[in-house]
Structure 1
Amino acid sequence: MNAQDLVALMTQRAQAVQMVVRACADWRDAVAYTVDVTADQKGATIAPWGLPEEAHELLVRRAESQGLRVLAPPLRDHLEEIHTALTPAHWGIAETGTLVLDSTSEDLRLATMLSETHVLVLPESRLRLSSLDMVDTLRTWHGEPPRYVAFISGASRTADIERVLSIGVHGPQQVHLLILKEAAP
């Protein structure tokens, strides 16, 4: 399956689990999108983790210009303040619309679990068709010492209380996937 087909399948499957999916040209576009989403939702803070240095600097400038605060680690000091998390995704599994993160960092776990909105950025080249294509990566991640690994398929949801669907109980209420377009070789 070529890259365009993987992106189309990932988009279809991610939208089926209520993710908002958008193509992005670059990190500048991803930062602008995140700041705009946060401002539109009347959020006050963004918790970034794992961004390239230039993207982090751009986020700080753009967020401040919109009256938003960028939270700095340790995020344990900001547990009740995290509105939006902005993180890269390590991998995407197209056939299930799932994002895979090496969540060994406590700051990443806090940002992704306590935010109201989670914006993930995934380069096209990190898309795989199935979880079977992830076996070697997962074996490496579960070596010594083992890592925390998160599989994210849409917003947090549960229906275990009187079979009533609740969104955002165990994590974000909204998940946005920004797929970074990459130039053809």
Structure 2
Amino acid sequence: MEPPSSGRRRATRHISTLRKMKDWHVTVRNKILIMGDSNVCRFPPFLDQHLQVDSYPGANFRHAAALLSRAIAITPPEIIVLAFGLNRRSQRAHQTSVKQLQAALRAAKLRFPHARVLVPAINFSPALPQQEKFSLLALNRHIQEHCDFIPPLPREKFSTEADQVHWSRETAAAMLDHWCEHLN
């Protein structure tokens, strides 16, 4: 663990809960806000004092929309990154994920009209079941065609834990660096 004087910060991991819509909240304190599922909690400690990372285990774009619609801003964000999508990968109707993504984007723009909102393309394991890969490919196609997006991490830098969902430690570090490069 880093000593407090190092200036390093970590992602905030919100509680795991069955009452996600009631128990979760977001208070924006920094110029750059990354909101995402449990994977963003795997980011290593970072030095950027303008960066805030909030991790919501099990969250999807529907949860992001609800969080953003009632967000509190101590500091209005200049950039918001919405890193969700894996937790609804088994939905047969990819339109549901697309509609939830669109709702999250609308909520972000309504609440923070001056913020740039980015959506990272979703990296995923090739070992996922075929139907899940089809759903994620369709969602990624929509992200890349209709959103201000961050391209996927190069395949050779991406790996997951044995569950095929959670990023490896090396991937989490590479993903944070990759996303930060695209925030400027």
Flag whether TM exceeds 0.5 (same fold): no
TM-score of the aligned structures, taking structure 1 as reference length: 0.34
Higher percent of residues as helix:
2
Task: Point out which structure has higher relative CO (alpha carbons under 8 A, 6+ apart).
Answer: 1
TM-score when scaled to structure 2? Answer: 0.34
